[in-house]
Amino acid sequence: MGSQIDEKWRSEAETPHKVTLTKGFWLLETETTQKQWKAIMGDNPSHFSDDALRPVEMVSWNDCDEFVKKLNDLGVAPDGWRFALPTEAQWEYACRAGTSTPYHFGYALNGDKANCNGELPYSPDGLTPEGKSLGKTSRVKSYSANRWGFYDMHGNVWEWCRILYGAYSEKPITNPIGPKSGMGRVVRGGSWRDPASFCRSAYRQWNDPRERHNFVGVRIALVSNTAKKPVIADVHKLDTDDDSEDNYDQNEPTNPVGTGPLASFDGKRDFGERGTIELNGVKFAFRYCRQGADEFWIMESPLTQRQWEAIAGDNPSQIKNATRPVNMISWGDCVNVANSLNLALGGDSGWTFALPSEAQWDFAYQKRNSLGTKYEDGNLCFLEWRADYGSQVYINDKIKSGTQGVTVNPPMSSVPLKQGLETRRMDLGARFALVRSPD
């Protein structure tokens, strides 16, 4: 993976390294077409919309994530498989089809073998003449497939990948899943508007997951579904005689019960009710809160190292103790792990895993005695991440209105302490909330 050290116009981001993929996967032979997108999502957001067999574009990574979720909810994937965006390694493996040249068809491109800006050609000797530039997307399969049968791996539209962008490892790596944090989501392949050099097999780029462009699309994969599904253990009332105004008003309307594993968390609940899920043999306990019109569930205690490892697969904490709070995790790490939980759960329950907002966190802390939530008050320096960033609250990249702040010190909850999003500290952890899914 990566480019040869003598490949013309290669970048430092294309570090050559050995990658081993131990799990087979299926990949769509073409970029997702506008017709396919509309069949699942009900609309066609594309700029070049005069031909349903052109690739869909004007789709963000978040849009594609929702597309994948809807495909999985249909239940049409073969047993043992699920739809997903490809990892960067899977994408390049399919693109190269066993080759090590700049393109699967050789060394040069000027718009003749792929839809790119042929007026800016590429070849090692610089002698390839200028070619044509269509100035728009082309119908899928307009150019020859690589020897494994994949079309348009070079040019036409950039293709979103599942992982975050980050520096390659210089050492051999197996089944890479990308960094835990990064500047944005990987896009690969180049597009109709880009110089031919950007369409090379090794060329890498990234975009903000919320951005939409008429030169960025997607190609869907089928991957092995080996992850264990979370199981709802129980939801029951907190054993308390508290009859305060915090108790849930049974006459209040609630959102309708949804589907999926989290549907058990819906319906009429009392303040402080306890709900648990089990993921990979590890239990997660939540308490029900309602403050005015805002209802949410919040974890009973900070994420432990055992809980984090059950989701993320590793324990980054400086001092290891499975029952102690996880630490050395950034805001981005937390958002990525929350996204992983949401992907694993599936269904349309109306609930989303996220970091709590400042208001939600403060409310749960102030009501901790009647609610049953626990805090690291014994360690006066322990902080927890919140969803708030700047003047917005981010819920898995979807924005809701909020207030300013990033972290909070439990014993001093009225004084938010701001931290950089990539900060990792021994005294900084997190707890998740279940919040109403953004519209």
Q: Model pTM?
A: 0.57
CB 6 within 8 Å of CB 160: no
- Residue ranges of alpha helices (H) inside 74-172 are 88-96
| The pLDDT of residue 234 is above 80 | no
Domains of the chain: 1-226 (3.90.1580.10), 231-436 (3.90.1580.10)
pLDDT mean over 349-359: 82
Amino acid identity for residue 50 in this structure: D
List, for residues 67-113, the tens digit of each pLDDT value. 999 999 898 888 889 999 999 999 999 999 999 999 999 999 999 99
| The pLDDT of residue 12 is above 70 | yes
pLDDT mean over 114-121: 98
pLDDT mean over 15-37: 94
pLDDT for the residue numbered 260: 52
Most confident of 137-146, 251-260, 342-351: 137-146
Taking the C-alpha atoms of residue 285 and residue 117, their distance in angstroms, rounded to an integer, is: 54
pLDDT for the residue numbered 109: 98
Question: Which residue is it, tokens 């609940």?
Answer: 269
> What pairing do the DSSP bridges indicate for beta strands 383-385 and 428-429?
parallel
CB 57 within 8 Å of CB 213: yes
Question: Which residue is it, tokens 């965006």?
Answer: 85
| The pLDDT of residue 14 is above 50 | yes
Taking the C-alpha atoms of residue 158 and residue 199, their distance in angstroms, rounded to an integer, is: 9
pLDDT level of residue 188 (50, 70, 90 thresholds): very high
CB 161 within 8 Å of CB 185: yes
Residue 308 backbone phi and psi in degrees, to 5:
-60, -45
| The pLDDT of residue 225 is above 90 | no
Tokens representing residue 73 in the block:
């909810």
Cα-Cα-Cα-Cα dihedral of 255, 74, 439, 336, to 10°? 110
pLDDT level of residue 418 (50, 70, 90 thresholds): low
